[in-house]
Every structure is written in structure tokens, then in C-alpha cells.
Amino acid sequence: MPAVANWALNTDDAKKIRVYGPEGWDRRLDYFLSGDEGSGLSKSIFEVGYIADGMVVDIGQLQVTSHAVRHSVLTFGARIESNEGSIAYSGDTGPCEALADLASGVDLLLCEAGAEKESEYHLTAQQAYDLAVSSHVGRLLLTHVPSEQKNSDLTKFDALPVELARPRTKWII
């Protein structure tokens, strides 16, 4: 968000981009950008929207449903659906019941796997895989993977396709 905000602040004809996040995300960004959480800078750059657990937002032909997930701060995952397919993004999260609803039957699950061993606020690659299998996901894409695990062998996960998210790679749903 700081990079997009910097671009918008330095581009004369920048259009406001609609951004949804937890209540107060804009004030936190204001503080980050200016040192004053009441500056209103974010609202001058973005169309600020707030989300809550279970909120559904229609964006063009997409339906986006937020799911509160388990993390040290208020965090949401998102399920994005259209007539052509579905994807879910876990957000940063530890194991929680919301993940099953989020991932249930999606074509692609983009799931964080930021922990090497089980923890409260992040999933391991194995936990992400187990979630994907039990939720009948079509394909699992792991992100937020610790650097020492980025070259690990994913062939042990054989019940569904599993890949690591990589820059400039495209997945067709």
C-alpha cells in the first residue's frame, strides 16, 4: 500500500482505487505515510472501504466474500467467485474453522505456509495441504513460504497439484 500511495501522491491524474480492509486500515496507513493517523491522507488517495467477517462485495463479475481468520491482528481471507471459477486466499493465518469455509471446493487456494513448525498464527505447508485436501480444492498454491523451504520437494503432496507462488507466473482458472 505505501508504494501505491506514493505513486498516487506523485501522479497528477491518478484515479482513486477502491481498497477494502479491516476497520482503521486507512488510519494506520496515514500514520505510516505522514506520522499522523488523523491526516486523512489515505482518503485523499483511495476510496476507502471497510470489511467485516462474512461481508460480500460485488466487483464487476466477481463476488468477493471476506472471512475473518486467526492472526495476531484482525486479518481476513477472501473467497473470489464468478461463473467461470473460484479462488480463495487465506491471508496470514493459523489453523481456524474459517479456513474450511473459505477454501471449500474452490478451483485454486492461494494459502500462506509461513511456519516451519505448527504455530498459532501461521500454517505449515503440510497444514495448508491438509486443508486443501479436506476442502476438496482443485489446486494449491503456497505463498509466504520460509526461504529455507522454497526449494523443498513438493512431490510428497500427491492428492492434488501443489506449487509455490512465484513472481510473473500465471494460473488460469
At 66-110, the pLDDT tens digits run 999 999 988 999 999 999 999 999 999 999 999 999 999 999 999
Q: How confident is the model at residue 172 (pLDDT cuts 50, 70, 90)?
A: confident
pLDDT at position 97 is 93
Q: Return mean pLDDT, the chain.
A: 92
Query: All domains of the chain, ordered by start, with CATH?
Result: 1-50 (no CATH), 52-173 (3.60.15.10)
pLDDT at position 151 is 62
DSSP sequence for the chain:
-HHHHHHHHT-TTPPPEEEEESTTHHHHHHHHHHS-TTS-HHHHHEEEEE--TT-EEEETTEEEEEEEEBSSS-EEEEEEEETTEEEEE--S-BS-THHHHHHTT-SEEEEE---SS--SS---HHHHHHHHHHTT-S-EEEES--GGGTTS-GGG--SS-EEE--TT-----
pTM for the full predicted model? 0.86
Question: How many percent of the chain have pLDDT more than 70?
Answer: 96
At 98-147, the pLDDT tens digits run 999 999 999 999 999 999 899 999 999 999 999 999 999 999 999 988 87
Q: How confident is the model at residue 29 (pLDDT cuts 50, 70, 90)?
A: very high
